[in-house]
Amino acid sequence: MKRIGVFTSGGDAPGMNACLRAVVKTACADGLEVFGIRHGYRGMIAGDIRALDPAAVSNMLQRGGTLLKTARSPEFATAEGRARAWAHLQQWGIEGLVAIGGDGTFTGAEVFSREHGIPIVGAPATIDNDLYGSDFTIGFDTAINTALDAIDKVRDTANSHDRVFFIEVMGHHAGHIAIHCGIGGGAEFVMVPETATSIEQLIAALNRGRDHDKTSFIVIVAEGGALGDAEVIAARVGEELPALDIRVSKLGHVQRGGAPTAADRLLASRLGNAAVEALVGGASGVMLGVCNDRITHTPFEQAIHTQKPIAAELLKLVDVLSSS
72 annotated to bind ligand = yes
174 annotated to bind ligand = no
Query: Which of the residues 12, 128, 130, 141 is marked catalytic?
Result: 128
Annotated catalytic residue 156 = no
- Mapping DSSP to helix (H, G, I), strand (E, B) and coil, where does residue 6 land? strand
DSSP assignments along 20-72, one per residue: HHHHHHHHHHTT-EEEEETTHHHHHHHT-EEEE-GGGGTT-TT--S-TT----
103 annotated to bind ligand = yes
201 annotated to bind ligand = no
User: To 10 degrees, the CA torsion angle through 118, 122, 125, 129?
Assistant: 130
**Alpha-carbon distance values, 43 to 5, 23, 228 (Å):** 12, 19, 35
DSSP assignment letter at 74? G
216 annotated to bind ligand = yes
160 annotated to bind ligand = no
130 annotated to bind ligand = no
Alpha helices in 162-198 (DSSP H): 176-184
104 annotated to bind ligand = yes
Q: Pairing relation of β-strands 120-124 and 96-101?
A: parallel
Give residues with Cβ within 8 angstroms of 196, minimum separation 6.
226
138 annotated to bind ligand = no
186 annotated to bind ligand = yes
163 annotated to bind ligand = yes
170 annotated to bind ligand = yes
11 annotated to bind ligand = yes
155 annotated to bind ligand = yes
210 annotated to bind ligand = no
60 annotated to bind ligand = no
Instruction: Report the residue count for the chain.
Output: 324
24 annotated to bind ligand = yes
CB 52 within 8 A of CB 35: yes
261 annotated to bind ligand = no
The rounded distance, in Å, linking the Cα atoms of 87 and 319 is 54
The rounded distance, in Å, linking the Cα atoms of 225 and 166 is 14
The rounded distance, in Å, linking the Cα atoms of 22 and 134 is 18
Q: How many CB atoms lie within 10 A of CB 98?
A: 31
* Cα angle 289, 290, 294; round to 5: 125
CB 96 within 8 A of CB 119: yes
Binding positions: 11, 21-25, 72-73, 102-105, 126-128, 155, 163, 170-172, 186-188, 214-216, 223, 247, 253-256
Catalytic residues: 128
Feature table: binding site for ATP: 11, 72-73, 102-105
| Residues making up the binding site for substrate | 126-128, 163, 170-172, 223, 247, 253-256
Residues belonging to the binding site for Mg(2+) are 103
Binding residues for ADP: 21-25, 155, 186-188, 214-216
